[in-house]
Amino acid sequence: MLADISHGRSQALLKQRNMLAVLVLTLIGLMMVIIMMFVSRDREVILQPVLSRPLTISSAGVTAEYLEMVTRDTATIALNRSPEALEYWMTQVLKVVHPSAYGKVKAALVKIVTEQKDSDVSQAFSMTGMTVDPKQMTSEVTGTLTTFVGKKVISSAKKTFRFRWSYSGLTLSLIEFGELVPVTNEEVP
């Protein structure tokens, strides 16, 4: 009789243990699913309104509005310079450059700073248009680039500049930029 009671108690304890094990495994699986949802979920940051509407950025990709805003500010910084502010100009441009392109861009900027440091040459860019392509991570700005020596205008021409970007996490960084030179009929073989 004691053996039957003991066997019945053992079976009840085994049943409880098995149910507890299933419950623990279910909870572990649920926790893993929740962790995976949070890890793979796109992150969004709401930026203070700089435009007439709120702006968000997401780890899923860059929006055309955000790319346009960053291009506008970067073009303004990169294409307007004066000899009095060359060091500041170079520092501000380098802040948006991707680490992989930092050395190349810095070398080009140092060359400009060295050439123009003790001169009266400055330039101003008046933007007249912009196109952005978030899929290709490029943007182009068009406008009038005016070069001055002192207060005298020595050149003024309509030019287009292309910016190539890298977007990783929530960081948009400049890879390269330069003037787009139109192809003329004389250059085509």
pLDDT value for 117: 85
Between CA 108 and CA 95 the distance in angstroms is: 15
CATH number of 63-180: 3.10.450.230
pLDDT at res. 186: 59
* Alpha carbon distance 156, 167 (integer Å): 34
Question: Which SS3 state, helix, strand or coil, does residue 102 take?
Answer: helix
Residues of the chain with pLDDT under 50: none
Q: What confidence score (pLDDT) does residue 7 get? A: 83
Q: Structure pTM? A: 0.68
pLDDT for res 87: 92
pLDDT of residue 52: 59
